[in-house]
Chain A
């Protein structure tokens, strides 16, 4: 019906060997590499410049991400994503073999695996937001719980002694105006934060606290990197799910008239999806293992 017929919309161009959409998606992925590349560069630069003892979080025993991240859940998610890449290829391959039903089924499996990834991610994020780091104005000791200390060297070369505890906030006490007066705090037993024998909650008056923060983005620069990179990756996963759901819902209409074009669309979706997986393949070792 349209007056304009765009050349190489479905057929590959003899020079590039690609139809327009495939060429376009490759260019888009090039720009995506620059986007994630900038974020990974940020990670490298901040890690290299981090004062000793502050990476991934103040007082950590090693500089590896697994000090505070859950490697088991991330490994599970890696399995989900790699499997979803396989099902994605199967979706496209089946459509190429004119097997629409099986192709759509594989696409649905991909969506389910992607959703499973997000569910696991939700539990990971949630745990971070309920885990706290407290730094004290000076050495803290109460009911047998003692703050840990470490000495950080600032970029200017001066040293600063930091008294801290990591753990969970069980409850808070507020005064009449709603300002928090004290925290019921359960220190972590692992990593030497607190003593395993006296692992019980302790009351910390707010006046003793210099800073209290959860393991959210503001917890440390490492956690900032973690949340921005995985968050942006998560948005890409959601974007992929939206696109795949759209094709699941509307695919049969296009399939009836232009099966080649539909298979091409799934191929482009697949290229994007493999890229999203690939980002995770980089992200997993960099953030969790190194």
Chain B
């Protein structure tokens, strides 16, 4: 059975593969590359923010001076001052940093990568329910991503209206970049649709005998809820993208109220549209998207914590019910992003109430994970270090969100660096740390080799210190009144007063970049020379550790039968401190 995969030619085995594990790895590697690229864009922006209008360092300047890109991005200053990032370039980098990180890096990594690789294994399935659809999902994602990047090479540069693409600005920007952004989004949404249908059907229909819903690992539950969010929240953005595309190319006025005067000339449209409509449609996706970003991370953290505390997760059912409730509530909180639009106090009150309600399940999940640590003999492995640092940082990210969910405080904090600090704490030291935990945790399953522990710990320590150096200053800058998307904060007095914090964030980012070097070395070194391991190196309980490492095409040597819950660690009376779900 396992020999079959070797019969396939190279391009069918590794390129156009229908094997969920290969597709998962394809997603992971592609998403990691996009993650690095999005991070690189941010480094250039942070340099400008720390040292406004100063020449970029030589290497960066020469890379960005390439003919097509440089035209927009680089300002050739006269004399000795050198090459400076332009305002347009900064805007394009900002918009693309957000887009790439959310839609091309984190979601594909968390769902496409981990979900694809782990979910069928944890369900005991031989593959996804629709293997070819799975392949189509990746091969829609990749062209969508490449199309997005292509925006940098067209005249006028990439989309530069922020990752939110608010009209009317986004419909009057004359460059091609925004149109490419919209086309790219439509393609990416199609990809995530194909993926989410597959995930739900797999998790519901392909569970092996004995694996009832409440025996599913929390990771599967997290992926299941995430898939429902992707399935139902993304289409309205697809619709909105389509409408904005029409506004840009077909002369419609869905988001154009009419009478817009641009450079002294009235825009020649029928008018009657509503810019606010875009915000509603956009945030109807983009708020559930927040939970798409965090839920798979929570799933990974739950797995890692259960495994390294050597005891069952505390409150497994509370975790599951909270995740489901979180998923449901995430559909009715979107307008808390829009308190400043003047939509009225009645609506604001409703959305403030739902926002406070949605914080309850988030807190339950975090509390369950923290209590799980209580009294445990913790193994401080690299994945566990990332998981442990995830907990307080996700808490910081979550708690700083509360003042943003109430109009009284949001009026002051809206569109400041405080918001940037808040959501980056959720996504960067939150989700990305969970992703790293997941990579260290499942690397042995994917490759049959363990990653180096010491390099892993150096990676963790550097990342942990520097990521806080990047994002902690943002809260103080925001409370000092520095606005997000600002090209040069020293132009304002209150901004100049806290410029030192911006410099700190920039050096934090450079330190964070350097801290990733041990990870890159570790990743490639371990792939070929890491310690060889058997099927279950972490002494874990869930089904993926029953399959060989790496699992062959078809996953399991014999179809497993499940007799236990997912986290039966240290069961009294058993010989070992872990009892696997599959009966031998």
Contact = CB atoms under 8 A, between A and B. Distances in A.
A3 B4 contact: yes
A157 interface: no
B22 to A, nearest CB: 12
A46 B274 contact: yes
A20 B236 contact: no
Contact of B131 (A6, A58, A217): A6
B127 A20 contact: no
B29 interface: no
Nearest to B194: A28
A45 B257 CA distance: 13
B400 interface: no
A4 B554 contact: yes
Interface stretch (B49-57, B239-247, B464-472, B512-520): B239-247
Contacts of A4: 126-127, 131, 553-555
A138 to B, nearest CB: 16
A104 interface: no
A23 B204 contact: yes
A207 to B, nearest CB: 15
Interface in A17-52: 18, 20-21, 23-24, 27-28, 30-32, 34-39, 42, 45-46, 49-51
Nearest to B209: A7
A5 B554 CA distance: 8
B272 A34 contact: no
A200 to B, nearest CB: 28
Nearest to B4: A3
Given A3-B1, A3-B2, A38 B240 contact: yes
Contact of B257 (A36, A155, A216, A232): A155
B210 interface: no
B130 interface: yes
Interface in B202-246: 204-206, 231-236, 238-240, 242-243, 246
A216 B131 contact: no
A215 to B, nearest CB: 11
B201 A20 contact: yes
B198 interface: yes
21 contacts: A2-B4, A4-B131, A4-B554, A20-B130, A23-B201, A23-B205, A24-B129, A24-B198, A31-B234, A31-B235, A34-B233, A34-B234, A36-B239, A37-B235, A42-B281, A50-B272, A54-B272, A211-B268, A220-B270, A223-B270, A228-B242
Contacts, number: 154
Nearest to A9: B129
Contacts of B233: 34
A46 B254 contact: yes
Nearest to A5: B126
B272 A46 contact: yes
Nearest to B273: A221
A239 interface: no
Contact of B258 (A31, A45, A154, A223): A154
A16 B204 contact: yes
A125 to B, nearest CB: 13
Contacts of A32: 235
Contacts of B257: 155
B270 A221 contact: yes
Contacts of B367: none
Nearest to B129: A20
Nearest to A32: B235
Contacts of A55: 272
Interface residues of A, number: 51
B365 interface: no
B231 A31 contact: yes
A16 B203 CA distance: 12
A27 B232 CA distance: 9
A135 to B, nearest CB: 10
A7 B130 CA distance: 11
B318 interface: no
Nearest to A18: B205
Contacts of B259: 154
B252 A217 contact: yes
A218 interface: yes
A2 B204 CA distance: 23
Given A4-B555, A24-B129, 13 more contacts: A3-B4, A7-B126, A24-B130, A34-B235, A37-B235, A37-B236, A42-B281, A46-B274, A211-B268, A213-B251, A218-B252, A220-B270, A221-B271
Closest 5 CB pairs of A and B: A218-B251, A35-B235, A38-B236, A224-B252, A38-B239
A8 interface: yes
Interface in A224-238: 224-225, 227-228, 232
A45 B206 CA distance: 42
Interface residues of B, number: 55
B277 interface: yes
Nearest to B206: A7
Contact of B239 (A15, A35, A211, A220): A35
B81 interface: no
B250 interface: yes
Nearest to A155: B257
A228 B201 contact: no
A50 B254 CA distance: 11
B409 interface: no
A32 B189 CA distance: 12
Most buried by A among B233, B257, B272: B272
Interface string B173-198: 00000000000000000000100111
Interface in B115-153: 125-127, 129-131, 133
Given A34-B232, A232-B242, A6 B206 contact: yes
A42 B254 contact: yes
A167 interface: no
B62 interface: no
Contacts of B251: 213, 216-218
A44 to B, nearest CB: 10
A216 B197 contact: no
Contacts of A51: 272
B540 interface: no
B26 to A, nearest CB: 18
B554 A3 contact: yes
B277 A45 contact: yes
Most buried by A among B235, B236, B240, B553: B235
B200 interface: yes
B239 A3 contact: no
Given A27-B231, A224-B254, A8 B126 contact: no
A103 interface: no
Contacts of A30: 231-232
A270 interface: no
B5 interface: yes
Contact of B253 (A58, A155, A218): A218
B447 interface: no
B277 A8 contact: no
Nearest to A219: B270
A35 B197 contact: no
Contacts of B254: 42, 46, 221, 224-225
Interface in B248-287: 250-254, 257-259, 268-274, 277, 280-281, 284
Nearest to B258: A154
A6 B206 CA distance: 8
Most buried by B among A27, A55, A217: A27
Interface in B1-28: 1-2, 4-5
A130 interface: no
Nearest to A220: B270
Nearest to A35: B235
A218 B201 contact: no
A34 B239 CA distance: 9
Given A218-B251, A224-B253, A3 B5 contact: yes
Contacts of B274: 45-46, 49
